[in-house]
């Protein structure tokens, strides 16, 4: 697939694709995802907006300048907005929603923004401790070059059974996931696993002055329903919508019209 690039503030090349016309909307993917996996959603949204799907740093055709910082990922979005002509609406899925929250809080020229199934931890000690332990474990495994172990740790965290993980080993998709494994630490940092126990970042939400929309799948894990409501309550005029009958991943033909109804074009 043909793509274009933009150079971020630290010199990192970011690859992106554009679909459709109208107001600019940038899609931000979550863990173990890249622009290719987000492409069907971007194409569906392209019926309503000038929609961008991009490879977050360390993924696909984008570069990766170390050391990593969440601020650098915010600068990547800023570079896209600057090149494509902002302001931009932002849609973030899963941990990508956490990155969108940081971008809006940083004061980027953003119109409307949508946070879809942000996987923050419930605000209790056990959940915070579990998130911190996950963050530390992922970083330790990756520092030892144990990508497969880090990937398996993430898959188990998401509830994937061991027999499914075993079945994926040796496949083309497993090889793709291994290439993305270092970015698991990036998503963990975005979600504040170590710094904040993965809970809704009250300090980040407090810096937001724009109205935001929080989506959650009606079949998503119950904790996501809880934290999505809490996050919507922390946003000025925040709205909360449950997508009934769907889980963490919503088909593009269902998701795109819903976003189009709630985001200005």
pLDDT tens-digit readout, 222-233:
999 999 999 999
- pLDDT interval class at 96 (50, 70, 90): very high
Is 175 part of any domain?
yes
Is 26 part of any domain?
yes
Residue 6 has pLDDT above 80, yes or no: yes
Is 245 part of any domain?
yes
For residue 124, what are its two tokens?
Answer: 């209790």
- pLDDT interval class at 123 (50, 70, 90): confident
- pLDDT interval class at 102 (50, 70, 90): very high
Same domain (yes/no): 111, 239 = yes
Q: Provide DSSP, 129-179.
A: HHHHHHHHHHHHHHHTT-HHHHHHHHHHHTT--HHHHHHHTTSHHHHHHHH
Query: What percentage of the chain exceeds 70 in pLDDT?
Result: 100
- pLDDT interval class at 82 (50, 70, 90): very high
Residue 262 carries which DSSP code? H
Residue 183 carries which DSSP code? G
- 55-75 core/surface letters (b: 16 or more CB in 10 A; e: else): bbbbbbbbbbeeebebebbbb
Residue 118 carries which DSSP code? -
pLDDT tens-digit readout, 125-150:
999 999 999 999 999 999 999 999 99
Same domain (yes/no): 164, 33 = no
Same domain (yes/no): 59, 114 = yes
CATH number, residue 204: 3.40.50.1820
CA distance 28 to 98: 9
| Domain total of the chain | 2
Same domain (yes/no): 116, 144 = no
Q: Answer with the one of 138, 162, 189 that is the final residue of a domain.
A: 189
Crossing angle of the two packed helices 252-262 and 35-45, in degrees rounded to 10 = 60
Is 251 part of any domain?
yes
Arithmetic mean of pLDDT, 1-20: 96
Q: Answer with the one of 142, 163, 189 that is the final residue of a domain.
A: 189
Same domain (yes/no): 129, 251 = no
pLDDT reported for residue 170: 85
Q: Which domain holds residue 72?
A: 4-120+200-262
What are the residue ranges of helices labelled H in the chain? 35-45, 70-84, 95-105, 125-143, 147-157, 162-168, 172-180, 184-190, 193-196, 202-206, 222-234, 252-262
CA distance 191 to 53: 21
The pTM score is: 0.96
- pLDDT interval class at 179 (50, 70, 90): very high
Is 212 part of any domain?
yes
Q: Which of 47-61, 101-115, 151-165 has the lowest mean pLDDT?
A: 151-165
In sequence order, the 6+-apart residues with CB closer than 8 A to the CB of 198 are: 119, 120, 121, 127, 128, 131, 132, 134, 135, 191, 192
Same domain (yes/no): 176, 234 = no
Residue 1 has pLDDT above 80, yes or no: no
- pLDDT interval class at 98 (50, 70, 90): very high
Same domain (yes/no): 101, 136 = no
Same domain (yes/no): 45, 155 = no
Is 194 part of any domain?
no
- Three-state DSSP at 51 gives strand
Arithmetic mean of pLDDT, 200-211: 94
């Amino acid at each position: 697939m043909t793509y274009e690039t933009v150079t971020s503030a630290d010199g990192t090349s970011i690859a992106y694709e554009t679909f459709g016309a109208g107001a600019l909307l940038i899609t931000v993917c979550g863990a173990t995802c890249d622009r290719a996996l987000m492409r069907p959603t971007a194409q569906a949204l392209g019926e309503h907006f000038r929609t961008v799907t991009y490879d977050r740093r360390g993924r696909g055709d984008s570069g990766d300048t170390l050391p990593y910082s969440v601020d650098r990922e915010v600068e990547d979005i800023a570079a896209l907005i600057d090149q494509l002509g902002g302001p931009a609406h932002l849609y973030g899925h899963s941990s990508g929603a956490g990155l969108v929250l940081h971008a809006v809080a940083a004061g980027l020229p953003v119109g409307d923004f949508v946070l879809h199934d942000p996987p923050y931890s419930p605000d209790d000690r056990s959940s915070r401790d579990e998130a911190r332990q996950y963050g530390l474990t992922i970083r330790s495994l990756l520092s030892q070059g144990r990508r497969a172990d880090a990937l398996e740790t993430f898959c188990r965290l998401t509830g994937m059974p061991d027999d499914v993980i075993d079945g994926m080993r040796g496949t083309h998709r497993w090889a793709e996931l291994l290439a993305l494994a270092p970015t698991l630490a990036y998503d963990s940092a975005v979600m504040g696993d170590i710094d904040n126990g993965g809970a809704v970042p009250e300090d980040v939400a407090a810096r937001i002055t724009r109205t935001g929309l929080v989506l959650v799948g009606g079949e998503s894990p119950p904790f996501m329903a809880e934290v999505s409501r809490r996050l919507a309550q922390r946003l000025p005029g925040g709205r909360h919508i449950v997508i009934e009958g769907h889980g963490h991943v919503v088909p593009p033909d269902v998701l795109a019209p819903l976003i189009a109804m709630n985001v200005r074009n």
